[in-house]
Amino acid sequence: MSLPNFPVEGGCQCGAVRYRLTHNPLSVYNCHCKDCQRFSGAAWSMSMLVRDEDFAVLQGRTEQYAKRADSGRVVEMHFCAHCHGWLFNRPPFPGIVVVRAGTLDDLDWAAPVGNIWTGSKAAWVEIDPELVNFSGQANDRQPLYDAWTHSTRKDN
């Protein structure tokens, strides 16, 4: 997968909220957890991990929802205040924003390199065994970072 020329942009469905990504993300992968299924209305959601300093909301206002995970950790979820599209999360660890990759204007370059929470995936979803897969939370995200670095280096 070849990388685009950064910065790239994305936004919500109504166009009120726009964001910019100034550098290559750390990784892109699919999450099959039940929360992502409920929030996205789909079988999984695409997570794009970016460094805080590489991410900026350019315009629009987001509404926040504090989601408490089973672990007790609170994830700050951001939705467009107007159309309520799900845009990004701020996880309980600093320095990282988890952007919903489907909100990128162009996501041709953002092919997921792995899957997390495959233990709760829909039975009919097939997981590519060549990818970096976790049955639950990826407590060590380094393999997902490494796979992204590797996949984006190939064509460059």
Which residues form the interface with Zn ion (CB under 5 A)? Answer: 12, 14, 16, 31, 33, 36, 80, 82-83
Backbone angles phi, psi at 88, to 5 degrees: -160, 165
Backbone angles phi, psi at 117, to 5 degrees: 60, 40
Considering the complex, what minimum distance in angstroms separates the CB of residue 124 from Zn ion? 18
139 versus 156: smaller Cβ distance to Zn ion? 139
Considering the complex, what minimum distance in angstroms separates the CB of residue 121 from Zn ion? 11
Give the sheet arrangement for strand 8-11, strand by strand.
8-11, 18-21, 55-59
3 versus 40: smaller Cβ distance to Zn ion? 40
Question: Read out DSSP for 89-133?
Answer: EE-SSTTEEEEEGGGBS--TT----EEE-GGGS-TTPPP-TTSEE
93 versus 155: smaller Cβ distance to Zn ion? 93
127 versus 153: smaller Cβ distance to Zn ion? 127
Is residue 50 helix, strand or coil?
strand
Considering the complex, what minimum distance in angstroms separates the CB of residue 153 from Zn ion? 27
Considering the complex, what minimum distance in angstroms separates the CB of residue 142 from Zn ion? 19
